[in-house]
């Protein structure tokens, strides 16, 4: 706020700046106090939305000594204050000392002054609130006599974490235009994706999902991320996967478990290597049991983290409770450390998920054993009934809030969360899933959170698909989860 000071002086009926009688000088001073009161009243009206500060504060002309006090960067009115107890006072001007200050920026919402005024503080004046919004938003506004016309690029870091989490968030802004990032995703600068193929179908009850990584790549995932988002990808190829026909089934309560754990260990090693290079791992399945490798790899680097599980199913069975013996229905329980000794492996961090940091989204098919287990753990479950009642966005935001905040945040996407009318080529389809737009909105909310450190996208089955529609959908949803927008 622009102000000026009255500094008391002693005298014998005369002021220091002339021979004007004291009585006349006092009247002269009072006239300026009245002008100041009018200016202050104008400022209050501006704070109430009637007008902005540059309209409310009148320029005060100090005819004495030929000095004019404006709101320029040369002379600024500072706080009115009468020093001393005598009847005489002298008006004097205090030169400002401009300085720059960066206002606090939170980790999701960044806003830039509508008027495109470069933040500049004068002398000892300070701002109580950031300069955001439009004139009259109950905020002190600094008014400069010259607007910043030129465009300048600014890098704003809106979130930082330790060196092991690779969670720096940065946005490049071109100053000079109205900008609001409140509704935009804030993704890490120069994000690099490590693609890891896991062509496994031993954990599922149907053959065909082992071709999922090829179907997703054939739908041009790498090119789409580069062209739409400028995201560089590094394809690490596929891990070695056994073939069901030449592999012993083993224990029927957890079919092919040793072979599945061996493949997950390969995935975990590649995930760990990607994190050591600052890359974001994206595992292409394969059935959902490959997510155990993703989570173990992340936990080996960072410690137990949080998980957002987007799936029609709970995947919370154990060898004792599973009605089918298919491991892809046990993977989440195993990652929680509840799968039993059969899932233990040297060098693995289990549980890989921190207690109270698990959210399930899009659920519509649960076995009885899964329902019982959910009563014992602190998990947030959003069924399709919840989505119908309160909407995709609210459900997803609450799911992310519950699962994030641990050592890492992993997003695992099973395409059977989407309705089979939209995603026909999935391993275990269930009617009544997310629509095309609902699925995209859910992924857009993931991107807006700017929390995800790693991803899986699984259960694409080209054998059951129509012209690779589900493979293409997987590419589109991943793009949305990484920041793609309509506008």
Active site residue 410: no
Cα angle value 458/317/247 (rounded, 5°): 65
Q: Is the distance from CB of 463 to CB of 208 less than 8 angstroms? A: yes
Is residue 414 part of the annotated active site? The answer reads yes
**Residue 257, token pair as written in the block:** 């478990």
d(C-alpha 360, C-alpha 351), whole Å: 17
63 is catalytic: no
In the residue annotation, 235 being an active-site residue is answered as no
Active-site residue identified among 302, 313, 402, 410? 313
Alpha carbons 224 and 478: distance in angstroms, whole number: 10
- Quick check: 320 and 253 in contact, CB under 8 A? yes
The SS3 assignment for 471 reads helix
Q: Is 315 a catalytic residue?
A: yes
Instruction: Tell me phi and psi for residue 61, to 5 degrees.
Output: -95, 120
| DSSP line for 299-334 | HHHH-SEEEEEE-SB-----TTT-SS--GGGTHHHH
Radius of gyration from C-alpha coordinates of the chain: 32
Those residues whose C-beta lies under 8 Å from the C-beta of residue 165, and which sit 6 or more positions away, are 302, 407, 408, 453
Which of these is catalytic: 113, 287, 370, 416? Answer: 416
Q: Which of these is catalytic: 265, 386, 414, 419?
A: 414
The CA distances from residue 186 to 183, 396, 446, in Å, are 9, 17, 11
Element (H, E) at 237: strand 232-238
Rounded to an integer, what distance in angstroms lies between the CA atom of residue 123 and that of residue 289? 62
- Which is catalytic among the residues 113, 210, 311, 453? 311
Contact 58, 37 (CB under 8 A): no
- Decide if 97 is catalytic: no
- Residues taking part in catalysis: 288, 311, 313, 315, 328, 414, 416, 459
């Amino acid at each position: 706020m622009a102000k000026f000071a009255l500094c008391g002086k002693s005298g014998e009926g005369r002021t220091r700046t002339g021979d004007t009688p004291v009585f006349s000088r006092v009247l002269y001073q009072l006239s300026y106090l009245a002008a100041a009161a009018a200016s202050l009243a104008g400022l209050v009206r501006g704070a109430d939305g009637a007008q902005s500060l540059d309209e409310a504060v009148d320029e005060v002309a100090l005819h004495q000594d030929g000095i004019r006090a404006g709101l320029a960067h040369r002379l600024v009115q500072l706080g009115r204050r009468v020093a001393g107890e005598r009847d005489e006072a002298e008006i004097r001007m205090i030169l400002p000392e401009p300085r720059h200050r960066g206002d606090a920026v939170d980790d999701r919402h960044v806003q830039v002054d509508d008027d495109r005024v470069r933040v500049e503080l004068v002398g000892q004046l300070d701002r109580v609130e950031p300069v955001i919004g439009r004139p009259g938003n109950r905020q002190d506004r600094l008014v400069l006599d010259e607007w910043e016309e030129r465009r300048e690029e600014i890098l704003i870091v809106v979130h930082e974490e330790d060196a092991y989490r690779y969670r720096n968030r940065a946005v490049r802004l071109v100053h000079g235009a109205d900008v609001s990032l409140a509704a935009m995703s804030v993704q890490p600068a120069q994000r690099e994706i490590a693609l890891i193929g896991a062509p496994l179908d031993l954990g599922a009850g149907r053959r065909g999902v082992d071709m999922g990584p090829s179907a997703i790549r054939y739908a041009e995932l790498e090119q789409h991320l580069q062209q739409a988002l400028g995201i560089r990808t590094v394809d690490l190829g596929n891990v070695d996967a056994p073939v069901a026909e030449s592999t012993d089934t083993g224990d029927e309560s957890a079919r092919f478990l040793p072979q599945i754990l061996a493949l997950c260990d390969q995935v975990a090693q590649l995930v760990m290597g990607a994190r050591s290079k600052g890359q974001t791992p994206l595992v292409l399945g394969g059935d959902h049991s490959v997510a155990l490798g993703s989570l173990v790899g992340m936990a080996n680097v960072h410690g137990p983290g949080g998980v957002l599980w987007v799936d029609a199913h709970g995947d919370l069975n154990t060898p004792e409770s599973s009605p089918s013996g298919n491991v892809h229905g046990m993977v989440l329980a195993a990652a929680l450390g509840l799968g039993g000794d059969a899932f233990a492996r040297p060098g693995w961090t289990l549980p890989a998920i921190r207690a109270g940091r698990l959210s399930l989204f899009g659920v519509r098919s649960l076995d009885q054993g899964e329902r019982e287990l959910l009563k014992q753990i602190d998990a947030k479950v959003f069924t399709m009934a919840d989505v119908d009642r309160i909407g995709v966005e609210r459900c997803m935001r609450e799911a992310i809030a519950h699962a994030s905040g641990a050592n890492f945040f992993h997003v695992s996407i099973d395409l059977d969360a989407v309705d089979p009318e939209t995603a026909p080529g999935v391993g275990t389809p269930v009617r009544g899933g997310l629509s095309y737009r609902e699925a995209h909105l859910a992924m857009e909310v993931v991107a807006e959170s700017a929390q995800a450190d790693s991803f899986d996208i699984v259960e694409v089955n080209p054998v059951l698909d129509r012209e690779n529609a589900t493979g293409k959908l997987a590419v589109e949803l991943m793009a949305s989860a990484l920041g793609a927008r309509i506008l």
